[in-house]
Amino acid sequence: MLMTTDTEKSDISKTEFEVLDALWKKFPATASEIIQRLNQNKTWHEKTVKTLLSRLVKKQVIDFNKQQRSYLYFPLVERSTYNQKESKSLVSRLFGGKVAPLVAGFAHSDALSKEDVDELKSLIKQWEKKND
């Protein structure tokens, strides 16, 4: 590829995301804390998580402050920002940028809850108040 500047696009991989997700839950956090959180669900080898933390640091997605022997990690990217970007990317790739067809898919496969519908109605009301 040959990339001179270091302003790469930094895609976050599947496993890297899971680590970031664990960090978002509460930060700053040490590697051990993150490992504990992750191991409540599946089993991650300590070494694997450490590798993923390093890769996230290199990608400038998280950073840390040295604390005695261990590090205190914290995210550099906000969850909402990340979610926003990923959502738009998917909606753009799969539904030509319109979000309604995505929701339609959920509706047609009965993946729409009453809670969702209520929130959607509220969102729409807000939207209509704002836009004219």
Partner DNA sequence: AATCTTTGATTACACATGTAATCTTAAATC
Partner DNA sequence: GATTTAAGATTACATGTGTAATCAAAGATT
| Binding-site ranges for DNA (CB under 7 A) | 1-2, 8, 11, 13-16, 30-32, 44-45, 47-48, 50-52, 54-55, 57, 68-71
Segment contacting a copy of itself by CB under 8 A, of 26-34, 44-52, 57-65, 84-92 = 84-92
- Per partner kind, with CB cut-offs from 5 to 8 A, the member of a copy of itself, DNA, none near residue 129 is none
Candidates 40, 65, 109, 129: give the one binding a copy of itself (CB under 8 A): 109
Cβ neighbour number for residue 113 with a 10 Å cutoff: 10
* Diameter over CA atoms, the chain: 58
The DSSP code sequence of 51-81 is HHHHHHHHTTSEEEEEETTEEEEEESS-HHH
